[in-house]
A and B are shown apart, each in its own frame.
Chain A
């Protein structure tokens, strides 16, 4: 058995990669739209805002964390701790917004 059997060891690190900010951007956009939909106070807009803030935005954040976790295995990954904190904050904001929409929907549908 030779040293080659050990497999090639990369000598150089690939170009730097970071967290998948696009997913975080989509989640943030969903949050903004959902916040905007709090104003009209209609059941349809409430439902859309609720779905955006809960399912869509949180799924985007979850995907962000999943993809981010995978990217961290790369030697070229550059850590941005601020983005990690932002994703957590975004998650909390999404849930709060979803709760506000839930209140609107519960009120509208209980008449």
Chain B
């Protein structure tokens, strides 16, 4: 399982390390953290090329962290270090191409592998959950053993799953933190560890075979030789480590700087090495982007003095955290009393910061050994122009420009900075080896020569450009790696075929797919023959693509002439999906020699549409999309009506009877008649009923559209007369009723004064506006009281129960007048009976 182009990357890693000379000023020698180690150059190159990094952090959970007489990490500083690692990976992407996607997983180990958090993209929004998971390690320190084998085997499985989920594209690394030596139930010590892990085919070989980079962080009495060997700095395994790093942390104070160093190197920083002195000089070049100082003061809390090349100084400490000096903004933090990391960012150009700097602890003596580590990040990167082309069999000189991350070209002074460039060219379509080619310095950058092999049919080759910034003494200050691409074409004596790559776009597969190619004659006459289509990926259902052309054998073209050839790609089978592959062509020149070229072809195949099925599906979907929502609305209305109390809502209208209208045994003082106006909502529909007591009821049920104005008209037949009434629901939801009352004397009550009335429901939906006799223009025995009601109701949206109030007032007024009292009582059964017959239904 190869996932990160190991051959190219390993070669690059070796190439990067060849000139590795650390400049640390004239006064003291620095110990580079990557000395005698593969380093992380290949990893950062891989990240630059693939823009992905999968990082699995393995944390020791053995009891020695917190138990025993001398616990190695009793205050769980590993958690602080881990959080700094996560935070730093989120907040800084300098040096690895401006923002590769980083996915992180957290796991612990002792005698078994312990998943804490599976792979997930590390982003500002996911940082807090990651830190919460990291905090769990504070209490995970009671494991019995320190089994690297279980840890690395578990890590390999998780990384393999992640690689499969990412289709193999990406670069993978493991950070292994431990405080002790290899320790399992049956054996202990580095020797036992080597026997278990380093033999042929064991887990280290498997990880290296998968292209996984191992970074070891050893705390205290961590294995002196095994962990560095696992990381590639020693003999372990039969496969060479293309990248690897071991960072020792002698005590808790240096644990934080160890994790920081690992993170900075993953991000592409260049480590100038660690010096265990209280003062150190270091050179900053013109194309510096950022400088990181990992400072462990001899006493705590520590303070340092920074001296610029022009002699100016600033002091930084846990209290003084910000300062600016010669165009660099410095920011210090103090994650622990024993550690003082300082970040310096170049704020602008021109490069006033170029020269020899020094950093010195304010208090040189103290109980702990001081340490100063310097990591630099470059601002310039090598760029191969788009469309760089080389011809088979002909040496070509290709230019490499120096640009900033935003694409702007380097300034003259930046160009003047000493640089070196290493160029690694991969083989044809990744099938061949990788080659390091010599480069030449120019005024604007570099050039390098490249001559594609005659047998190479590739149309593009991948290039890795590694630019190193040099100090005046030639030592490397920074290194930045960028990918590039070269288009390879046959030599000029052969016909040229365009386009050099074909994007079919989205193609409906029913007939052969026609690809027109243009042929331009070379220096002599020649011809072009179409070969087979080599598929890399085909949709399910298509076994192959058969390539054919409209010319039988070889399409001839004269010298410098022009010709056309149409290639037909016929799918064998049917299916939808992505198609990638190469169309093989054979070019023949005037001498009769052949040159094979491959034109990359990509496209998206779609099966043809079955029109009948489409129409049927459309009808089904439209039917469901229209009818089902309507059904939903109807069901909601029905359920609503069921849930609502069964209601026969009506209103008692106070009416007055004039003396002329009354035929009675005894005259009545007005008002003494109640007419019932009922409105019977039925779910979403409604009906209107006008009723008079004791009269025959005629009800008309009118289904109403609940979303529109509707009218329900009801005729009510009294004993001796006919009244008609209507209720109209207006757009605004109110109900307007017209009662052209023609009640006459025969309709009045002259009984014992107990007037049968319907039960009063205090609410009606909407507002009922009653128009009275004045509206009808006729003499109306109901006039007075209705007028009173009307005056209260319309216009101001008063609720319908105002009518009831009017009714009550009518009763009061009658009492007051001393006439026959009106009583109102509920009689549901009688009302239900009235609705049993409905001549309109």
Interface residues of A (CB under 8 A from B): 1, 3, 5-7, 9-10, 13, 50, 53-55, 58-59, 61-63, 65-66, 69-70, 72-75, 77, 79, 81, 84, 88, 94-95, 98-99, 101-103, 105-107, 109-111
* The 5 A-B residue pairs with the shortest CB-CB distance in the complex, in nearest-first order: A58-B629, A75-B799, A102-B621, A73-B765, A62-B633
Q: How far is the CA of A110 from the CA of B611 in the complex (A)?
A: 7
Q: Are A70 and B640 in contact (CB under 8 A)?
A: yes
What 0/1 readout, one digit per residue, does chain B (589-613) give for beta carbons within 8 Å of chain A? 0000000000000000011111101
| Inter-chain contacts of B611 with A (CB < 8 A) | 110
From B708, which residue of chain A is reached at the shortest CB distance? A88
B576 on the interface (CB 8 Å rule)? yes
What 0/1 readout, one digit per residue, does chain B (799-837) give for beta carbons within 8 Å of chain A? 101001101100110000000000111000000000000
Q: How far is the CA of A9 from the CA of B799 in the complex (A)?
A: 11
| Inter-chain contacts of A61 with B (CB < 8 A) | 633
16 contacts between A and B (CB under 8 A): A3-B812, A9-B804, A9-B805, A13-B799, A59-B632, A62-B629, A69-B684, A73-B765, A84-B731, A95-B626, A102-B617, A102-B621, A105-B621, A106-B617, A106-B618, A111-B606
Q: Are A110 and B614 in contact (CB under 8 A)?
A: yes
| Inter-chain contacts of B610 with A (CB < 8 A) | 110-111
Binds A, one of B130-138, B219-227, B756-764: B756-764
Of the candidates B614, B626, B760, which one forms a contact with A106 in the assembled complex, judged by CB atoms under 8 Å apart? B614
| Inter-chain contacts of B706 with A (CB < 8 A) | 65, 69
From B576, which residue of chain A is reached at the shortest CB distance? A111
Q: Are B618 and A103 in contact (CB under 8 A)?
A: yes
B454 on the interface (CB 8 Å rule)? no
Q: Are A58 and B632 in contact (CB under 8 A)?
A: yes
Q: Are B618 and A63 in contact (CB under 8 A)?
A: no
> Provided the pairs A10-B801, A55-B628 are in contact, do residues A102 and B618 lie with their beta carbons within 8 angstroms?
yes
Q: Are A66 and B617 in contact (CB under 8 A)?
A: no
Q: Are A55 and B766 in contact (CB under 8 A)?
A: no
> Provided the pairs A66-B636, A66-B640 are in contact, do residues A79 and B628 lie with their beta carbons within 8 angstroms?
no
Q: Are B764 and A73 in contact (CB under 8 A)?
A: yes
> Provided the pairs A79-B733, A95-B626 are in contact, do residues A1 and B823 lie with their beta carbons within 8 angstroms?
yes
Q: Are B636 and A63 in contact (CB under 8 A)?
A: yes
> Provided the pairs A62-B633, A73-B765 are in contact, do residues A79 and B625 lie with their beta carbons within 8 angstroms?
no
Q: Are A72 and B621 in contact (CB under 8 A)?
A: no
Of the candidates B607, B624, B684, B732, which one forms a contact with A54 in the assembled complex, judged by CB atoms under 8 Å apart? B624
From A79, which residue of chain B is reached at the shortest CB distance? B732
Nearest Cβ in chain B — how far from A37, in angstroms?
Answer: 14
Q: Are B617 and A110 in contact (CB under 8 A)?
A: yes
| Inter-chain contacts of A3 with B (CB < 8 A) | 808, 811-812
B840 on the interface (CB 8 Å rule)? no
| Inter-chain contacts of A50 with B (CB < 8 A) | 621, 625
Q: How far is the CA of A84 from the CA of B614 in the complex (A)?
A: 36
Query: From DSSP, what is the main secondary structure of chain A's interface residues?
Result: helix
Nearest Cβ in chain A — how far from B647, in angstroms?
Answer: 10
| Inter-chain contacts of A88 with B (CB < 8 A) | 707
B622 on the interface (CB 8 Å rule)? yes
| Inter-chain contacts of A59 with B (CB < 8 A) | 629, 632-633, 636
| Inter-chain contacts of B763 with A (CB < 8 A) | 73-75
List B290-343 residues whose CB lies under 8 Å from chain A: none
B798 on the interface (CB 8 Å rule)? yes
Q: How far is the CA of A59 from the CA of B639 in the complex (A)?
A: 13
Nearest Cβ in chain A — how far from B222, in angstroms?
Answer: 50
| Inter-chain contacts of B116 with A (CB < 8 A) | none
From B757, which residue of chain A is reached at the shortest CB distance? A6
> Provided the pairs A5-B825, A110-B613 are in contact, do residues A62 and B636 lie with their beta carbons within 8 angstroms?
yes
Q: How far is the CA of A1 from the CA of B624 in the complex (A)?
A: 57
From A11, which residue of chain B is reached at the shortest CB distance? B805
Nearest Cβ in chain B — how far from A39, in angstroms?
Answer: 15
Q: Are A111 and B609 in contact (CB under 8 A)?
A: yes
| Inter-chain contacts of B628 with A (CB < 8 A) | 54-55
Q: Are B824 and A1 in contact (CB under 8 A)?
A: yes
B492 on the interface (CB 8 Å rule)? no
User: Other than the known A75-B798, A98-B626, A111-B608, what 7 A-B pairs have Cβ atoms closer than 8 Å?
Assistant: A7-B760, A65-B633, A74-B763, A75-B797, A106-B614, A106-B615, A110-B617
Q: Are A111 and B804 in contact (CB under 8 A)?
A: no
From B732, which residue of chain A is reached at the shortest CB distance? A79
Of the candidates A53, A65, A75, A106, which one forms a contact with B707 in the assembled complex, judged by CB atoms under 8 Å apart? A65
Q: How far is the CA of A3 from the CA of B625 in the complex (A)?
A: 55
Q: Are A1 and B808 in contact (CB under 8 A)?
A: no
Nearest Cβ in chain B — how far from A61, in angstroms?
Answer: 8
B637 on the interface (CB 8 Å rule)? yes
Q: How far is the CA of A33 from the CA of B576 in the complex (A)?
A: 27
> Provided the pairs A66-B637, A70-B640, A73-B765 are in contact, do residues A107 and B609 lie with their beta carbons within 8 angstroms?
yes
Nearest Cβ in chain B — how far from A107, in angstroms?
Answer: 6
Nearest Cβ in chain A — how far from B608, in angstroms?
Answer: 7
Q: How far is the CA of A75 from the CA of B798 in the complex (A)?
A: 7
Q: How far is the CA of A84 from the CA of B825 in the complex (A)?
A: 39
Q: How far is the CA of A109 from the CA of B615 in the complex (A)?
A: 11
Q: How far is the CA of A7 from the CA of B762 in the complex (A)?
A: 8
Q: Are A9 and B617 in contact (CB under 8 A)?
A: no
Q: How far is the CA of A79 from the CA of B760 in the complex (A)?
A: 25
From A7, which residue of chain B is reached at the shortest CB distance? B762
Of the candidates A73, A84, A99, which one forms a contact with B625 in the assembled complex, judged by CB atoms under 8 Å apart? A99
> Provided the pairs A109-B617, A111-B607 are in contact, do residues A9 and B808 lie with their beta carbons within 8 angstroms?
yes
> Provided the pairs A59-B636, A66-B637, A72-B765 are in contact, do residues A81 and B629 lie with their beta carbons within 8 angstroms?
no
From A103, which residue of chain B is reached at the shortest CB distance? B618
Q: Are B621 and A6 in contact (CB under 8 A)?
A: no
Nearest Cβ in chain A — how far from B570, in angstroms?
Answer: 19
Nearest Cβ in chain B — how far from A104, in angstroms?
Answer: 10
Q: How far is the CA of A51 from the CA of B797 in the complex (A)?
A: 40
Q: How far is the CA of A69 from the CA of B403 in the complex (A)?
A: 68
What 0/1 readout, one digit per residue, does chain B (431-469) give for beta carbons within 8 Å of chain A? 000000000000000000000000000000000000000
Q: Are A69 and B765 in contact (CB under 8 A)?
A: yes
> Provided the pairs A7-B760, A111-B576 are in contact, do residues A72 and B632 lie with their beta carbons within 8 angstroms?
no
| Inter-chain contacts of B824 with A (CB < 8 A) | 1, 5-6
Nearest Cβ in chain A — how far from B273, in angstroms?
Answer: 51
Interface centre among B625, B636, B684, B766 (most CB of A within 10 A): B625
Q: How far is the CA of A69 from the CA of B732 in the complex (A)?
A: 11
Q: How far is the CA of A43 from the CA of B613 in the complex (A)?
A: 16
Q: Are A99 and B622 in contact (CB under 8 A)?
A: yes
Nearest Cβ in chain B — how far from A101, in angstroms?
Answer: 8
Q: How far is the CA of A69 from the CA of B797 in the complex (A)?
A: 16
List B717-748 residues whose CB lies under 8 Å from chain A: 731-733
| Inter-chain contacts of A111 with B (CB < 8 A) | 576, 606-610
Q: Are A54 and B625 in contact (CB under 8 A)?
A: yes
Q: How far is the CA of A79 from the CA of B618 in the complex (A)?
A: 39
> Provided the pairs A73-B763, A73-B765 are in contact, do residues A58 and B609 lie with their beta carbons within 8 angstroms?
no
| Inter-chain contacts of B804 with A (CB < 8 A) | 6, 9
Nearest Cβ in chain A — how far from B593, in angstroms?
Answer: 46
Nearest Cβ in chain B — how far from A111, in angstroms?
Answer: 4
Nearest Cβ in chain B — how far from A44, in angstroms?
Answer: 14
| Inter-chain contacts of A75 with B (CB < 8 A) | 763, 797-799, 801
Q: How far is the CA of A1 from the CA of B757 in the complex (A)?
A: 13
Q: How far is the CA of A63 from the CA of B89 in the complex (A)?
A: 49
Q: How far is the CA of A54 from the CA of B627 in the complex (A)?
A: 10
From B610, which residue of chain A is reached at the shortest CB distance? A110
From B641, which residue of chain A is reached at the shortest CB distance? A66
Interface centre among A10, A62, A95 (most CB of B within 10 A): A62
Q: How far is the CA of A5 from the CA of B706 in the complex (A)?
A: 34
Nearest Cβ in chain A — how far from B139, in angstroms?
Answer: 42
From B575, which residue of chain A is reached at the shortest CB distance? A111
Q: Are B733 and A55 in contact (CB under 8 A)?
A: no
